[in-house]
Structure 1
């Protein structure tokens, strides 16, 4: 398996997740919680279904993630202004503060991961990964 693109990509992803989880422990967050908070920070209020799709988890898993974040007062859920049955999740002030601190932890892991790459190589790596995602029809 060594040297196969899919296998090496999975190894890199797993190594990143382990290191990021360790760094995020400082903020008492998991990778999945971090991803949800970061998306809410970036894109504003989102439904749990939208968050699940964007975080590549099941709706049931995202509901558990959001419920845990809500219990910690990091997010709140409000009725959608148009579709009353849909509840939108958004960051609270505490959520904004925590995600800012968590970004620092994740940036440190990302920097360590690409420390041996030059700046052009880093840009090329991102471009190549984005190309792989597009080729498989994902967002």
Structure 2
């Protein structure tokens, strides 16, 4: 088999297009969150805590797409900024519960608005049906790879 037959057409490769979309989205989110003094992983962590209270450090790390070690550092920085608080007593086992503070909820509200504006811009050229189809297709791709 020659090397030419193994080449990937980057213009039609789904994985390449998804990586490109991720890169552009991440850059837009970074730009939108920077004036708020927040990073994308910090925003993701605050959003996860607001929507799913009681998540463990490992669950937060998976949800924010960072390592457990990075999540621990991230939580320490959010705690120093008084955006989250952690109990000194574990709720179950060794897990220290993390909660949003009032300041954390306030900052999250501004960050959510900024992230929402980026998503609105991203889907502005898609009609409602296309948006639903894109969500369904991406969910199918995720499931196909998760089932492997």
Distance 1:74 1:99 in 2: 9
Q: Which stretches of structure 1, 4 residues or longer, exceed 4 Å deviation after superposition?
A: none
Distance in structure 2 (CA, Å) of the matches to 1:67 and 1:102: 19
For structure 2, the 5+ residue unaligned runs are 1-9
2:92 pairs with 1:82: yes
SS in 2 for 1:87: coil
Q: Is the 8 A contact 2:123 2:131 kept in 1?
A: yes
Deviation at 1:82, TM superposition (A): 2.7
- The equivalent of 1:4 in structure 2 is 13
- Once superposed, what is the RMSD of the aligned Cα atoms? 1.2
Name the residue aligned to 1:48: 57
| Deviation at residue 80 of structure 1 after TM alignment | 3.1
Q: How many residues are aligned here?
A: 137
Q: Which 5+ residue runs of structure 1 have no aligned equivalent?
A: none
Deviations 1:33-92 (A, max 9, x none): 110000000001222111112222111111111111111000011233232x22121111
TM-score, normalising length from structure 2? 0.88
Is 2:112 the counterpart of 1:103?
Answer: yes
Question: Higher strand proportion, which one?
Answer: 1
Highest CA radius of gyration, 1 or 2? 2
